[in-house]
Amino acid sequence: AQKVTQTQTSISVVEKTTVTMDCVYETRDSSYFLFWYKQTASGEIVFLIRQDSYKKENATVGHYSLNFQKPKSSIGLIITATQIEDSAVYFCAMRDTEGADRLTFGKGTQLIIQP
Protein backbone atom coordinates (compact mmCIF):
# COMPACT_ATOMS: atom_id res chain seq x y z
CA ALA A 1 0.00 0.00 0.00
CA GLN A 2 1.09 3.53 -0.68
CA LYS A 3 2.26 5.68 2.18
CA VAL A 4 3.51 9.25 2.38
CA THR A 5 5.25 10.57 5.47
CA GLN A 6 6.01 14.15 6.39
CA THR A 7 7.77 14.23 9.73
CA GLN A 8 8.09 17.98 10.11
CA THR A 9 4.95 19.28 11.74
CA SER A 10 5.92 22.93 11.66
CA ILE A 11 8.80 25.03 10.34
CA SER A 12 9.44 28.71 11.00
CA VAL A 13 11.91 30.74 8.96
CA VAL A 14 12.72 34.35 8.35
CA GLU A 15 11.52 35.97 5.15
CA LYS A 16 13.83 35.82 2.10
CA THR A 17 15.62 32.70 3.30
CA THR A 18 15.50 29.18 1.84
CA VAL A 19 13.50 26.39 3.42
CA THR A 20 13.38 22.66 2.75
CA MET A 21 10.46 20.42 3.63
CA ASP A 22 10.92 16.67 3.79
CA CYS A 23 8.76 13.88 2.44
CA VAL A 24 9.35 10.14 2.13
CA TYR A 25 7.05 7.72 0.37
CA GLU A 26 6.45 4.01 0.04
CA THR A 27 5.35 2.26 -3.11
CA ARG A 28 5.88 -1.06 -4.81
CA ASP A 29 5.51 0.44 -8.25
CA SER A 30 8.45 1.30 -10.46
CA SER A 31 6.47 4.16 -11.99
CA TYR A 32 4.86 6.79 -9.77
CA PHE A 33 4.18 10.49 -9.57
CA LEU A 34 4.92 12.88 -6.73
CA PHE A 35 3.21 16.18 -6.06
CA TRP A 36 3.42 19.09 -3.69
CA TYR A 37 0.40 21.17 -2.82
CA LYS A 38 -0.07 24.00 -0.41
CA GLN A 39 -3.16 24.82 1.62
CA THR A 40 -3.62 28.48 2.35
CA ALA A 41 -5.19 29.98 5.44
CA SER A 42 -8.49 30.23 3.57
CA GLY A 43 -8.42 26.46 3.02
CA GLU A 44 -7.68 26.58 -0.68
CA ILE A 45 -5.48 23.73 -1.96
CA VAL A 46 -3.07 24.84 -4.66
CA PHE A 47 -0.90 22.63 -6.84
CA LEU A 48 2.74 23.68 -6.79
CA ILE A 49 5.04 21.20 -8.52
CA ARG A 50 5.36 17.56 -9.53
CA GLN A 51 8.05 14.99 -10.15
CA ASP A 52 7.54 11.93 -12.34
CA SER A 53 9.61 9.01 -11.09
CA TYR A 54 11.16 8.24 -14.47
CA LYS A 55 12.60 11.74 -14.80
CA LYS A 56 16.11 12.14 -13.45
CA GLU A 57 16.16 15.92 -13.38
CA ASN A 58 14.70 17.64 -10.36
CA ALA A 59 11.61 19.68 -11.20
CA THR A 60 11.69 23.46 -10.79
CA VAL A 61 8.81 25.93 -11.01
CA GLY A 62 9.41 29.54 -10.05
CA HIS A 63 10.91 29.62 -6.58
CA TYR A 64 9.90 26.01 -5.91
CA SER A 65 12.24 23.13 -6.64
CA LEU A 66 12.41 19.48 -5.71
CA ASN A 67 15.17 17.32 -4.31
CA PHE A 68 14.25 13.89 -5.67
CA GLN A 69 16.32 11.10 -4.18
CA LYS A 70 14.86 7.95 -5.65
CA PRO A 71 17.07 5.43 -3.79
CA LYS A 72 15.93 6.99 -0.51
CA SER A 73 12.26 7.31 -1.63
CA SER A 74 12.51 10.96 -0.77
CA ILE A 75 11.06 14.07 -2.41
CA GLY A 76 11.96 17.27 -0.62
CA LEU A 77 10.44 20.65 -1.49
CA ILE A 78 12.78 23.62 -1.55
CA ILE A 79 11.44 27.15 -1.48
CA THR A 80 13.98 29.88 -2.13
CA ALA A 81 13.60 33.57 -1.35
CA THR A 82 10.60 32.90 0.86
CA GLN A 83 7.87 35.50 1.18
CA ILE A 84 5.29 36.12 3.85
CA GLU A 85 2.66 34.82 1.41
CA ASP A 86 4.37 31.42 1.40
CA SER A 87 3.03 30.82 4.90
CA ALA A 88 0.74 27.82 4.51
CA VAL A 89 0.48 24.09 5.10
CA TYR A 90 2.41 22.09 2.52
CA PHE A 91 1.31 18.60 1.52
CA CYS A 92 3.28 15.96 -0.29
CA ALA A 93 1.23 13.48 -2.31
CA MET A 94 1.81 10.43 -4.48
CA ARG A 95 0.02 8.57 -7.23
CA ASP A 96 1.09 5.20 -8.51
CA THR A 97 -0.44 2.60 -10.79
CA GLU A 98 -1.50 0.39 -7.88
CA GLY A 99 -3.51 3.25 -6.47
CA ALA A 100 -5.15 4.03 -9.80
CA ASP A 101 -5.92 7.74 -9.92
CA ARG A 102 -6.03 8.45 -6.25
CA LEU A 103 -3.61 10.73 -4.47
CA THR A 104 -2.19 9.61 -1.13
CA PHE A 105 -1.30 12.59 1.01
CA GLY A 106 1.09 13.16 3.87
CA LYS A 107 -0.10 14.90 7.02
CA GLY A 108 1.39 18.21 5.97
CA THR A 109 4.01 20.65 7.22
CA GLN A 110 3.00 24.08 8.46
CA LEU A 111 5.37 26.74 7.18
CA ILE A 112 5.53 30.06 8.99
CA ILE A 113 7.42 32.87 7.35
CA GLN A 114 8.42 35.61 9.78
CA PRO A 115 9.29 39.15 8.76
Partner 1 sequence: DPKIIQKPKYLVAVTGSEKILICEQYLGHNAMYWYRQSAKKPLEFMFSYSYQKLMDNQTASSRFQPQSSKKNHLDLQITALKPDDSATYFCASSQAQTGVQDTQYFGPGTRLLVL
| DSSP letters spanning 9-62 | -EEEEETTS-EEE--EEE-S-SSEEEEEEEE-TT--EEEEEEEETT--SPPEET
Question: Which range binds partner 1 by CB under 8 A, 21-29, 54-62, 77-85, 97-105?
Answer: 97-105
Residues contacting partner 1: total by CB under 8 A: 23
Interaction of residue 106 with partner 1, rule CB under 8 A? yes
Q: Which residues bind partner 1 (CB under 8 A)?
A: 33, 35, 37, 42-47, 50, 52, 91, 93, 95, 100-108
